[in-house]
Structure formats: C-alpha cells, structure tokens
Amino acid sequence: MGSDPNVISFMVSERTDHQVDEIASVLTDKNLTLVSAESCTGGLLAATFTDHPGCSGWYEGSFVTYRVSAKTNFLGIPEGLIAIHHPVSEEVAYAMAESALAESGADIAVSTTGLAGPDDDGTGVKIGTLWVAWVIPHLNVREARCFEIEPERLAFRRKAVELAIEGLWSRLNRG
C-alpha cells in the first residue's frame, strides 16, 4: 500500500506510518473494517488513517467527540457513566470504542480520551493523562491502557495517535 511520506511525516513517526500500512494489510486480507472514536486527538487519528491510499477499503471513519455532549449525543454514552468516572477514564474509553463499533457496524475499534492541557479541568485528572481502548471482538480483545505523556498539546496529540496505532498493530499481530 504505502503512503505519501510528505503528507504524513509531520504528524507521526515513520514507524507509526509503517504500522498503519501493516494494519491496512491485515484488515484488507481479512476483509475487516476499523472505526475510531476520538476525543483528545481531535481527528488526528482519522487523518493518520486516511492519509493512506486505499483506506476506504478498511477504514469506516471516526467519531470525533471532543466535548462530553458529543460523547453522549453521537455515541450514546450515558451522562451518568461520564459523571461517575470522568471523561478521561478507562470506562469512558471502553464505552467510546464499543459505541463506535455499534454505531458504525465496523469490526474493530480504537478510542482515545485524554487531558492535553495546558489547563486542568478541576477534577484531579493529571494533565497529560491518556486512555486508549482497543476492541477487537473476533480476537476476544477488549483492552484499555493509561499513559502519561507530555502535556504540550500538539506533542500530546501526536504521541496519543502513535500509542493508539502501536497498540492496535500489536494486538492485531497477536491474533
């Protein structure tokens, strides 16, 4: 497949770009589709996937749900879940991925939710906290992971995308 390195190189590492190529190959070979649900990455995950030629064959799309209201309105995540656990939590990351699967009909989902800063949100969640969830039903994968990364906004978003893609790549290669 391959992508245009001049398009994507400013966003993610060459390693991540290569991992997307490998993800695309696996999904194409197995006739599977991917959906993403993004908060803190603000569409950068979708942009990374769609920079790859042929992505319409394996990438369903993305729900960019930056605000809590978008998470509840677009993905149907209960306000109570968000109120109890916080938008930047394992529970919400899972809910985002699972709702994206249900809403899109895709086979695999990845979600990102985090607090990039520079300001905190007054809830005690540390600036630089990122949750990523991967749901791959045919491999019985339902995993989420918390990361602490540099809370500079652009660096945070780039690293969040790289971690989401690396995690997806590694989980697909297990199966």
pLDDT one-digit tens code per residue, 24-71: 999 999 999 999 999 999 999 999 999 999 999 999 999 999 999 999
Binning pLDDT at 50, 70 and 90, where does residue 164 land?
Answer: very high
pLDDT at 78: 97
pLDDT at 123: 80
| Number of domains comprising the chain | 1
Quote the pTM value. 0.92
pLDDT tops 70 at residue 6: no
pLDDT at 145: 98
- Among candidate residues 49, 39, 43, the one with its CA nearest the CA of residue 108: 49
| SS3 assignment for the chain | CCCCHHHHCCCCCHHHHHHHHHHHHHHHHHCCCEEEEECCCCCHHHHHHHCCCCHHHCEEEEEECCCHHHHHHHHCCCHHHHHHHCCCCHHHHHHHHHHHHHHHCCCEEEEEEECCCCCCCCCCCCCCEEEEEEEEHHHCEEEEEEEECCCCHHHHHHHHHHHHHHHHHHHHHHC
131: containing domain: 5-174
* CATH value at residue 155: 3.90.950.20
